[in-house]
Structure 1
């Protein structure tokens, strides 16, 4: 049984998937399996994976009719066997030291359910552009991160390694609702387990036009976020959060809606933020901007 399972959902990933597989094969730590689910691709994704699988018994290919990345990831996890899990997208890469470093951390630190590191943000050719820790310097935190992660995701999914028992206890992805899958998952893990963020860079994240964060429309992205907000509101630990944190929680969604021009939704969440924490001055500023814009439109 492998120590680590890397699970991948792939759809029409032929331009990138060999690069991803090679990044796994180049790991210093060798006790791993790579489980790839081809989610109904119509390009050469399966053929490329099959060639690698024929040469390396640690690589497994599963195929299904197109059902979406969330279901494909769940299938990959259900077929995996490792004690530790890495979720990797077909268009990204992990660096050679990642598995060795993070297996060592989880083995030595049983109080942590998740360890995660830094990530290079790259262009479509994988030229390194910026470190995640430089762009979001306040995101890399350790310990009980629940209050922080309910405001938004903290790290690239493949920069992390999570214990299998954590996923078995909270579930991986909800197949019934449209949500920001990574954020929803990490929030549920953070409700019950501690995280450890280390400074070492372990992943590369590719930005390109076909990625879901680019191709999904603004309306769908807002719907996904609002659905996660609704799920978080039902979590037991959410009820016990300080009112200031709840205010920031609703302000973050208001700002997201405002950014994409959904003014009605933005106003709704600004008001909720103010109601929860009247000293949240940023929410008042957001409301003023929306009211001014509404008046201009009327005039």
Structure 2
């Protein structure tokens, strides 16, 4: 039995596609649990049309982590899939990931790729994380964090063993969950194909709550490294991981157009690094540009951060940032390395 848990909050517009994608899997046995987290739109009407095929639970708004925990408490399946109400499953997902876990009893998580789509459902990018992170070890979860909750299938016993989601986290509770699972010894393996579609739209939680997302992403990593039970090789990663977590938060805010909020995260990066100013800025540039490219954004948008960098690292001469971006667009980043005396 597979339990598909769908938390929803004011997502009536997209909910039918999510539900229909589960029923189109034609996997038996499967139960669908929808947790309405205090919706005020016509979600109840939508769910009423599926009343004979789903278990519907309503609760006061408490966040998606709480809603997922509520669903987990009612789940009976050996395997669990979490699907956001504005996303959808691709054909065959339940079959291929259940087959993987059936044939690999040593794994507690089956991970996969996904389609990144726009609001209308058009595919913007096919994400295949296994090309960069072939081995899903705790070290690699920390370094790369290739987490998209809907792309997983979990053994329910493992979710219950670690206590499910942390309801105090309104964002990044998926990363927190995977880190706790990996630390507890839960192994993960790849099903090397996309199994779900992730919709990026104006009203998505990660966009509306950008500031909260940035804060939570840093807080999850900080709290993880406060644990006393970390293996020595993991504990020694604390400074570097916190550095790149703060840098990612800076990029995330830049990507959402919140340039004025970036400075505090770059200042945190600087406090965590022993690099000299030029190598430090070169590292920032390299990662910000790469993350921008991977997100399918124009590299030129990185230019918006120039005044912030100038304020955080005033030792760096004016113009280097602009020249770097120009070289990157010309596919000649080695020239930037020369300019920063790093070649």
Does 1 or 2 have the higher relative contact order (CA < 8 Å, sep 6+)?
1
Structure 2 stretches lacking a partner, 5+ long: 254-260, 286-305, 316-343
d(CA) in 2 for partners of 1:264 and 1:153? 22
How do 1:236-255 and structure 2 match up within 5 A?
236-237=229-230, 239-241=232-234, 243=236, 245-255=237-247
| Helix, strand or coil at the partner of 2:40 | coil
Unaligned 5+ runs, structure 1: none
Residue number in structure 2 paired with 1:85: 80
| CA distance in 2 between partners of 1:102 and 1:291 (Å) | 44
| Total equivalences in the alignment | 284
- Is the 1:121–1:206 contact (alpha carbons within 8 Å) kept by the matching residues of 2? yes
Residue of structure 1 aligned with 2:164, choices 152, 172, 176: 172
Deviation at 1:118, TM superposition (A): 1.2
Report the counterpart of residue 311 of structure 2 in structure 1: 293
Structure 1 counterpart of 2:207: 214
1:150 aligns to what SS in structure 2? helix
Is the CA contact 1:50–1:61 (under 8 Å) kept in the aligned structure 2? no
Q: How does 1:265-280 map to 2 (within 5 A)?
A: 265-274=265-274
Mapped partners of 2:78, 2:196: distance in 1: 20
Give 1:102-251 correspondences, 5 Å limit: 102-133=97-128, 137-139=131-133, 141-143=134-136, 145-191=137-183, 192-218=185-211, 220-235=212-227, 236-237=229-230, 239-241=232-234, 243=236, 245-251=237-243
Of residues 87-96 and 177-186 in structure 1, the stretch that sits farther from structure 2 once superposed is: 177-186
**TM-score normalised by L of structure 1:** 0.85
Q: Sort the Cα spacing of 1:108 and 1:226 in 2 relative to 1 into closer, same or farther, 3 A.
A: same
Query: Structure 1 stretch 227-236 or stretch 261-270: which is displaced more?
Result: 261-270
- Rg: which structure is higher? 2
| Post-superposition CA distance 1:9-31 (Å, at most 9, x none) | 10111100000000000013221
Distance, in Å, in 2 between the alignment partners of 1:198 and 1:106 is 10
Query: Which residue in the other structure is 1:4 paired with?
Result: 2
Decide whether aligned partners of structure 1 residues 128 and 285 sit closer, same or farther in structure 2, where only a CA change above 3 A counts: closer
Contact 1:120 1:203 in 2 (8 A): yes
Structure 2 residue matching 1:241: 3-state secondary structure: helix
CA shift for structure 1 position 48: 1.0
- Structure 1 pair 178–94 and aligned structure 2 pair: CA distance change class (3 A): closer
Distance of aligned partners of 1:258 and 1:15 in 2 relative to their CA distance in 1, 3 Å threshold: closer
How has the CA–CA distance of structure 1 residues 178 and 24 changed in structure 2, closer, same or farther, with 3 Å as cutoff? closer
Structure 1 residue aligned with 2:327 = none
CA contact (8 A) 1:10 1:37 kept: yes
TM-score, L = length of structure 2: 0.75
> How has the CA–CA distance of structure 1 residues 186 and 282 changed in structure 2, closer, same or farther, with 3 Å as cutoff?
farther
Question: Of 40, 59, 68, which residue of structure 2 is paired with 1:73?
Answer: 68
Contact 2:109 2:153 in 1 (8 A): yes
- 2:142 and 2:238 map into 1 onto residues whose CA distance is 9
Deviation, 1:197, is: 1.1
Moved more, 9-18 or 40-49: 40-49
Deviation at 1:189, TM superposition (A): 1.0
RMSD of aligned Cα (Å): 2.7
